[in-house]
């Protein structure tokens, strides 16, 4: 197989990324060397070049393992010091990437045996508000898993630290991510394969995932014979077909095995995670109890949920990095919450009135809202993922069987609030978004979803994007959509200044004296925490942040002379204007 121009280009690109701190002279020399190889190869036949241009798996294994026997490497253990980042929060929000959290854990695994233990010393969350946790444990044993300790906001604040089962989606997402993060495991996969079945393209080995058109590409540096990266095409709910990649850096010797001491995780080229690896040990003898599931109850392994995790593994990682308390699959179960007794969860009834209904599920804190108007149903928010939004759409139709859903309002373009938007606009064809969020929304709507075609990709109708630059009116003013901004004494306007989002919209329903908002006032359980009734309380930094958001919203309500008695939070549901005042003014 000859060296193609594409291979040369890819090689140079990767090398430049890897050696971006090396001298320009060395980069030029490497470039000349590769170009010379290409020139020589063009004069030879494919047969003459095949042994020269194609790297064998045996070469790579012999270079990494001096004993040339990766099959004997059965277990691995090391410590991870990492940081997570979020890029889709940037643009109209903080400059990206936003530092989501820092963490420290010990990783133990039986290679190629679907057994993992991730024992966290701490997770320090910075976003959406700061708090520091201690002690968490994640265990996967083939098709079952559990998570315990302080691993998100609910386990930290409410002391819900007992072991909970992992669902098939998260199990497979974690297994896939961790396998890609371990080049030894990928190489063992290849070494255990029959050589005739190993697919290679020059310096790239193809590792089948068992799913058609979804394979891991392991790229080898032709100069050092060390793995450079592993990447795979995934489905992102917003951006469609994306590349998820893990780069291997700073290789060190661990006895007779080479191993990377730094990993960089990328989504479409953007960094979403960095990890430093230390205390690496192979063939550690683990006690069988290390991989014993801690949850008293388990859930049946579900093949469809498993596929969801494999196709969109980066999404489950990003939820975890943001401390979002979702451990169940989000493909069904949405209902009008006023019809469900949620007092067992310590929450009040969510009945607002005949025109406004809150939809969701008690185990999720992202609750869209439906408003009945004379021209149809206005839906506020399409959160989390397309399947969850589809479930909400179905629940709205069941509650309002005679009404069409005429439009959707996106409060802001953060991924946990927007990831179902393609499903929603496929039905409504009509969406309201702030001016600053339009470029990203356009990108989302136009993105290609060939790997997993969704409802919008099968629909060629034009989507109407309604720009909200100040106040927009729906159904002759029955619903008002406001860009949250203030006017100073000089008449200048500026958007919300608490740094959460500059494309933040709030929805006002005058006849119901109701405001619908996201991330400005966290309701439900969050108010329980704010009032000091939970085992752990908001940190001082967290309280200052939340007070700033509540104050901004309250000031805006006063400035616009809105008559408000009810405040609905996408996170947590129904609250009152007194709750908003309490958070804004609480000392």
Please give the domain boundaries of the chain with CATH numbers for all domains: 5-53 (no CATH), 74-193+250-321 (2.50.20), 335-585 (3.60.15.10)
CB burial string 191-202: b at 16+ within 10 A, e below? beeeeeeeebeb
Helices 168-180 and 313-321: angle between axes, nearest 10 degrees: 100
Distances (CA, A) of 547 to 127, 486, 502, 586: 15, 17, 17, 8
User: Are the C-beta atoms of residues 358 and 334 closer than 8 Å to each other?
Assistant: no
pLDDT at residue number 502: 77
Element (H, E) at 540: helix 540-559
pLDDT tens digits along 492-522: 555 555 556 778 999 999 999 999 999 999 9
pTM (two decimals): 0.85
Q: What is the Cβ-side half-sphere exposure of residue 553, based on CA atoms within 13 angstroms?
A: 34
* Separation of alpha carbons 251 and 166, rounded Å: 33
Q: What is the Cβ-side half-sphere exposure of residue 296, based on CA atoms within 13 angstroms?
A: 2
User: Cis omega before residue 97 (within 30°)?
Assistant: yes
Q: What is the DSSP letter of 65?
A: B
User: Are the C-beta atoms of residues 350 and 358 closer than 8 Å to each other?
Assistant: yes
- Structural tokens at position 132: 């520091």
Which of 6 and 251 is assigned the larger pLDDT? 251
Mean pLDDT score of the chain, rounded to an integer?
84
SS3 473: strand
Q: Is the dihedral of CA 469, 501, 336, 303 positive or negative?
A: positive
Which of 133 and 39 is assigned the larger pLDDT? 133
Percentage of the chain exceeding pLDDT 90:
58
Quickly state the pLDDT bin for 482 (edges 50, 70, 90).
Answer: very high
Residue 100 in this model has a pLDDT that exceeds 90 = no
- Give the CA dihedral 329, 335, 340, 346, nearest 10 degrees: 50
* Separation of alpha carbons 163 and 254, rounded Å: 34
Instruction: Say which residue the tokens 């030029």 belong to.
Output: 28
Q: What is the Cβ-side half-sphere exposure of residue 40, based on CA atoms within 13 angstroms?
A: 11
Q: Of 350, 351, 359, which is closest to residue 378 (Cα–Cα)?
A: 359
Q: How many Cβ atoms sit within 10 Å of the Cβ of residue 66?
A: 12
pLDDT tens digits along 263-307: 999 998 989 999 999 999 999 999 999 999 999 888 999 998 899
User: Are the C-beta atoms of residues 503 and 433 closer than 8 Å to each other?
Assistant: yes
Distances (CA, A) of 336 to 118, 150, 359: 37, 30, 5
């Amino acid at each position: 197989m000859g060296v193609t121009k594409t291979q040369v280009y890819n090689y140079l690109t990767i090398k430049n990324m890897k050696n971006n701190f090396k001298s320009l002279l060395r980069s030029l020399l490497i470039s000349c060397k590769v170009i010379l190889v290409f020139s020589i190869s063009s004069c030879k036949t494919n047969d003459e070049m095949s042994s020269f241009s194609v790297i064998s798996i045996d070469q790579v294994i012999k270079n990494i393992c001096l004993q040339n026997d990766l099959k004997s490497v059965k277990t691995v253990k090391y410590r991870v010091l990492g940081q997570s980042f979020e890029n889709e929060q940037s643009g109209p929000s903080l400059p990206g990437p936003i530092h989501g959290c820092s963490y420290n854990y010990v990783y133990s695994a039986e290679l190629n045996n679907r057994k993992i233990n991730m024992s966290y010393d701490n997770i320090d969350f910075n976003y959406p508000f700061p708090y520091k946790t201690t002690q968490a444990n994640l265990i996967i044993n083939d098709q079952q898993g559990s998570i315990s300790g302080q691993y998100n906001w609910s386990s930290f604040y409410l002391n819900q630290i007992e072991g909970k089962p992992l669902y098939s989606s998260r199990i497979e997402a974690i297994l896939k991510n961790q396998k890609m993060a371990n080049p030894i495991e990928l190489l063992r996969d290849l070494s255990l394969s029959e050589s005739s079945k190993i697919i290679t393209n020059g310096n790239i080995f193809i590792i089948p995932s068992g799913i058609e058109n979804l394979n891991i590409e392991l790229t080898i540096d032709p100069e050092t014979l060390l793995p450079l990266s592993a990447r795979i095409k995934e489905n992102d709910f917003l951006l469609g077909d994306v590349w998820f990649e893990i780069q291997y850096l700073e290789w060190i010797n661990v006895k007779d095995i080479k191993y990377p001491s730094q990993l960089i995780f990328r989504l479409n080229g953007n960094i979403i995670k960095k990890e430093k690896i230390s205390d690496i040990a192979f063939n550690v003898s683990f006690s069988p109890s290390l991989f014993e599931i801690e949850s008293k109850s388990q859930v049946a392994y579900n093949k469809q949920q498993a596929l969801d995790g494999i196709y969109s593994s980066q999404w489950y990682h990003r939820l975890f990095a943001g401390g979002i308390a979702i451990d169940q699959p989000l493909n069904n179960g949405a209902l009008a919450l006023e019809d469900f007794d949620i007092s067992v969860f310590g929450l009040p009834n969510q009945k607002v009135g005949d025109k406004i209904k809150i939809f969701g599920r008690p185990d999720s804190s992202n609750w869209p809202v439906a408003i009945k108007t004379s021209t149809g149903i206005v839906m506020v928010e399409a959160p989390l993922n397309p399947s969850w939004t589809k479930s909400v759409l179905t629940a709205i139709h069941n509650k309002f069987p005679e009404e069409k859903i005429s439009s959707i309002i996106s409060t802001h373009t953060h991924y946990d609030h927007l990831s179902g938007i393609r499903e929603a606009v496929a039905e409504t064809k009509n969406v309201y978004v702030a001016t600053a969020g339009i470029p990203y929304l356009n990108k989302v709507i136009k993105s290609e979803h060939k790997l997993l075609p969704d409802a919008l990709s099968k629909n060629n109708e034009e989507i109407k994007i309604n720009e909200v630059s100040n106040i927009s009116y729906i159904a002759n003013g029955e619903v008002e959509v406001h860009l949250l901004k203030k006017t100073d004494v000089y008449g200048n306007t500026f958007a919300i200044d608490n740094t959460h989002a500059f494309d933040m919209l709030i929805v006002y329903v005058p006849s119901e004296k109701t405001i619908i908002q996201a991330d400005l006032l966290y309701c439900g359980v969050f108010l329980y925490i704010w009032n000091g009734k939970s085992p752990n309380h908001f940190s001082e930094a967290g309280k200052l942040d939340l007070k700033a958001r509540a104050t901004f919203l309250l000031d805006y309500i006063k400035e616009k002379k809105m008559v408000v008695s009810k405040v609905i939070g996408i996170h947590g549901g129904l609250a009152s204007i007194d709750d908003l005042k309490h958070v804004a003014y609480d000392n």
